[in-house]
Amino acid sequence: MAGHTRDEGFGGATHTLGLLYPPAGRGRAYTTMQLAFVGGVAEAATAQGYDLLLSPGERYDDPSFLRMIGDRRVDGVIVMEIRREDDRVERLAEEGFPFVAIGRNQRADAAGWVDLDFAGLAGGCVQHLADLGHTRIAFVNRSERLFDSGYGFARLGDEGYTEAMKKLLLTPRAYLCGDDLASGEQVVERILLDDPATTSLVTLNEAALEGVYRGLTRHGRSVPRDFSVVGVAASPWAEQVTPALTAAEIPAKEMSRVAVDLMIQRLRSPDSPPRHVLLKPLVTLRASTGRCRPVPGSEPEADFSDFPDFGIDF
């Protein structure tokens, strides 16, 4: 029986797309949010007649990544968890291998990408809290490992938060936090130790959200009566906590669909200019934010001047 022939027309040879997506959770596990993206890309690829091959490669020399592109096992690659300096993107660009990205850096501009405006979203969350009267606003970012390795969303979120706080003449206080429940509890401990008068926080870390809530409860802070929380998260996680999280939505399914569409366009018209899609969802109001109520004892005492002696006898 004759073997399969390679189709050199639209779609390349394999009718398979690669997804290059290193796990971000503790113990190199995929977070729930990441699994939503994997499912979204797989569903969109299937709808276009493609299979999906997943590689957890974090660097260009990861064996699974090298097999994926070296053996031409896929027609094109969707790259995720983009870092500011990302040797995977460099390798793909140098070899002229078709790719698009969910996320972006300067090198990815040469290809198509879809991303969220994480800086704008973090700034919008700060403004929402400021409009409610909050002035002590902390920021809970992703893990130290992700931040130090240059992941774009963690860096951009930090920049957006800091810029918004300075614009409002407020003091920024940002914290790195592991992607798990225990880390969420610990970061609340650090926040309230640094400034017991803190009344609100912005978070990019949906995996630690339940821990943040538990930490606030343990310290006697009721959400939203005593403490407001706003974040950037996908709706399933925002709605699973109690009270439901006021959040800028991460549209994982929509971003996955756009990425696959960009990939198909890249394969169909390799010489066409790359498309860049930047999304900035609105903050969806739920139940986790409210008017600022200063922490008892945190406000400075009123400075009353001594009354003058008018010499009146009673």
Count the alpha carbons within 13 Å of 188 in the hemisphere toward its beta carbon.
Answer: 23
Reported as a pLDDT band with limits 50, 70 and 90, residue 13 is confident
pLDDT (average), residues 40-46: 98
Can you point out the beta strands (E) in 177-245?
200-203, 228-233
pLDDT above 90 (res 277)? yes
pLDDT digits 0-9 by tens, 29-42: 888 889 999 999 99
Fold for the domain defined by 16-116+252-279: Rossmann fold (3.40.50)
Of residues 294 and 168, which shows the higher confidence score?
168
In this prediction, what percent of the chain has a pLDDT beyond 70?
Answer: 90
pLDDT digits 0-9 by tens, 226-245: 999 999 988 888 999 999 99
Of residues 266 and 105, which shows the higher confidence score?
266
pLDDT above 50 (res 312)? no
Q: If you write DSSP's letter for every residue of 81-122 in order, what string do you get?
A: S-BSS-HHHHHHHHHT--EEEES--TGGGGSEEEEE-HHHHH
pTM: 0.84
Mean pLDDT of all residues belonging to the chain? 89
Residue 103 region, left (φ>0) first, then alpha (ψ -120 to 50), else beta? left
Please calculate the CA angle 185-247-282 and round it to the nearest 5 degrees.
160
- Predicted confidence at residue 24, as pLDDT, reads 82
Reported as a pLDDT band with limits 50, 70 and 90, residue 10 is very low
CATH of 118-250, one of 3.40.50.920, 3.40.50.2300, 3.40.50.300, 3.40.309.10: 3.40.50.2300
Task: Please state, as a whole number, how many other Cβ atoms lie within 10 Å of the Cβ of residue 200.
Answer: 27
Rounded Cα distance between 225 and 172, Å, is 22
pLDDT (average), residues 270-289: 94
CATH code 3.40.50.2300 region(s) in the chain: 16-116+252-279, 118-250
Reported as a pLDDT band with limits 50, 70 and 90, residue 299 is low
Rounded Cα distance between 48 and 5, Å, is 20
DSSP assigned state of 6: P
